[in-house]
Amino acid sequence: MERFKVCIAVHLMLIRDGKILLQRRNNPNKHAYLKLGMPAGHLEPGENVNQAIEREIKEELDITLTDYELVQVMNLNGDTDVYDAYFYICNAYDGEIKNNEADNAKTLEWHDIDKPIDDLMEYEQYALNKYLENKNNHFTLFGW
């Protein structure tokens, strides 16, 4: 019998002045077209989750994370796959934020974190809420 496989994704909560940076998804061939999402991506062969978040953020936003920490792991029952999603908070970075992947992110938008964000993918809104409710809540389940 083949072993069950779980996909690994990394997400960044970049919060500044009570607002979180989100991307408006722009690829009609990918999940959640035109929805808002955190800068995120998948693990590539041979890299760990810290390397993946650093690479993804450099690729997508053209910044280098200099101070970040893992704040939550979510076991997610998604539409087609099961994921372990690693959520990081960014405390500091070098560079100027740019939209490096306009084919995947139509816009970069800052949204208030103190109210629900329309169009934010449901599981990311849940992760953000859990983080804001209790910064020591390091594990969540979603979609089960």
Q: At residue 85, does pLDDT exceed 80?
A: yes
Neighbours of 11 (CB within 10 A): 22
Q: Is residue 25 part of a domain?
A: yes
Contact 108, 99 (CB under 8 A): yes
pLDDT range class, residue 28, cuts 50, 70, 90: low
Q: What does the alpha-carbon distance between residue 34 and residue 36 come to, in Å, rounded to a whole number?
A: 7
Q: Is residue 44 part of a domain?
A: yes
Q: Is residue 116 part of a domain?
A: yes
Contact 4, 77 (CB under 8 A): no
Q: What does the alpha-carbon distance between residue 8 and residue 132 come to, in Å, rounded to a whole number?
A: 23
The total number of structural domains that make up the chain = 1
Contact 23, 37 (CB under 8 A): yes
Q: Is residue 64 part of a domain?
A: yes
Q: At residue 87, does pLDDT exceed 90?
A: yes
pLDDT range class, residue 135, cuts 50, 70, 90: confident
Give the pLDDT of residue 88. Answer: 98
User: For the chain, what is the mean pLDDT?
Assistant: 93
Q: Is residue 2 part of a domain?
A: no
Q: Is residue 1 part of a domain?
A: no
CATH number at residue 25: 3.90.79.10
Q: Is residue 60 part of a domain?
A: yes
Range of 75's domain?
Answer: 7-142
Residue 107 Cα distances to 28, 39, 46, 102, 112, angstroms: 15, 11, 31, 7, 16
Q: Is residue 79 part of a domain?
A: yes
Give the pLDDT of residue 78. Answer: 82
